[in-house]
Amino acid sequence: MSDNFSHNVKQAAQWLREAQRVAAMTGAGISAESGIATFRGTGGLWEGHRAEEVATPEAFRANPEMVWRFYSARRTQLLECRPNPAHEALAEVEHCCENFCLITQNVDNLHRLAGSQNIIELHGNIWIDRCWDCAHEEPVDGVSEEPVPRCRKCGGMMRPGVVWFGEMLPPGAIERAQSAAAQCDVMLVIGTSSLVQPAASLSGFAQQNGAKVVEINPEATALTHSADLVIAEKAGTAMPAIVEALQTEPRP
């Protein structure tokens, strides 16, 4: 690895060590090395699908079976996927910090499987079904055989418990995320294109409130020019290196 990489990793570890409160914001890129497609770019989930065809309430109303085929295929794929070293390293950061909050846009549950605890799932969780009619929620752990699963309470159509375009975030989620962003001293922004609001605005909010923002992403994004530190590497390489630096270097 380059000197630049080692230098940046040390800087990030130093800031984490000095911080009272740490927040992390993650996107699809942190799960890429677990074999999960990201949304944008070549091979992305939205390639070949217009998002509005499968990820909007209108699409569900018009064709619930088609929307369920898309989400059942995602669940089937996810059953094969495990957390990767980046998820594990982030769970380790939580252990090292007195006060840690993980804000994720991912619905894949891999942070929880890796051991992270204080998680805000801004876009919901794919392993929850929610009734379209009565909002009853049901955790699920597999793929339904029914083309459109039905509600146990009212017989209505169940839908995946994820946030679609044009929908509100889960109640309280953005408020909790904003409060974590406002209070943190360091925010790690890992594997997100920083294009989708309101998630994308949280790092700016953190920075306005005095936090250092560290971006971890092999590609330049909408955030790159304003980040305090950019580690242009894959999360599965950068995060374990940061944790190693955090754990081996003595406290000042």
Contact call for residue 103 and ligand OAD (CB under 6 A): no
- Which residue's CB comes closest to ligand OAD? 29
Structure tokens at 165: 């375009």
* Residues with Cβ within 8 Å of residue 75, at least 6 apart in sequence: 126, 127, 142, 143
| CA 239/CA 111 separation, integer angstroms | 14
The only residue of 13, 22, 27, 85 in contact with ligand OAD, by rule CB under 6 A: 27
Total of chain residues touching ligand OAD, rule CB under 6 A:
26
Q: Give the active site residue among 7, 49, 87, 123.
A: 123
How near is the Cβ of 159 to Zn ion at its closest, in Å? 10
| CA 21/CA 44 separation, integer angstroms | 33
Contact call for residue 78 and ligand OAD (CB under 6 A): no
Residue 134 contacts which entry, Zn ion, ligand OAD, none (Cβ below 5-8 A, type-dependent): Zn ion
- Give the Cβ contact number of residue 153 at 10 Å: 12
Nearest to 86 by CA among 110, 106, 109: 110
* Residues with Cβ within 8 Å of residue 223, at least 6 apart in sequence: 189, 192, 194, 200, 203, 213, 215
Question: Taking contact as CB under 5 A, which single stretch among the options 6-14, 16-24, 124-132, 196-204 is the one that binds Zn ion?
Answer: 124-132
Question: Taking contact as CB under 5 A, which single stretch among the options 4-12, 30-38, 129-137, 200-208 is the one that binds Zn ion?
Answer: 129-137
| CA 246/CA 227 separation, integer angstroms | 20
Nearest to 106 by CA among 224, 235, 212: 235
Contact call for residue 192 and ligand OAD (CB under 6 A): yes
CB-nearer residue toward ligand OAD: 50 or 153: 50
Contact call for residue 72 and ligand OAD (CB under 6 A): no
CA distances from 101 to 13, 95, 97, 143 (A): 17, 11, 10, 30
Let me know: does 84 contact 91? Beta carbons within 8 Å.
no
Contact call for residue 131 and Zn ion (CB under 5 A): yes
Contact call for residue 195 and Zn ion (CB under 5 A): no
Is position 111 annotated as part of the catalytic site? no
Q: Which residues pair with 188 in a beta bridge?
A: 24, 214
Question: Taking contact as CB under 6 A, which single stretch among the options 7-15, 89-97, 145-153, 213-221 is the one that binds ligand OAD?
Answer: 213-221
Contact call for residue 81 and ligand OAD (CB under 6 A): no
Verify cis geometry, omega within 30 degrees of 0, for the bond prior to 240.
Answer: no
Q: 136 to 155, contacts with Zn ion by CB under 5 A? A: 136, 151, 153-154
Which residues are marked as active site? 123
Residue ranges that bind Zn ion, judged by CB under 5 A = 131, 133-134, 136, 151, 153-154, 156
Residue ranges that bind ligand OAD, judged by CB under 6 A = 27-29, 32-33, 38-40, 44, 51, 55, 105, 123, 163, 191-193, 195-196, 217-219, 221, 234-236
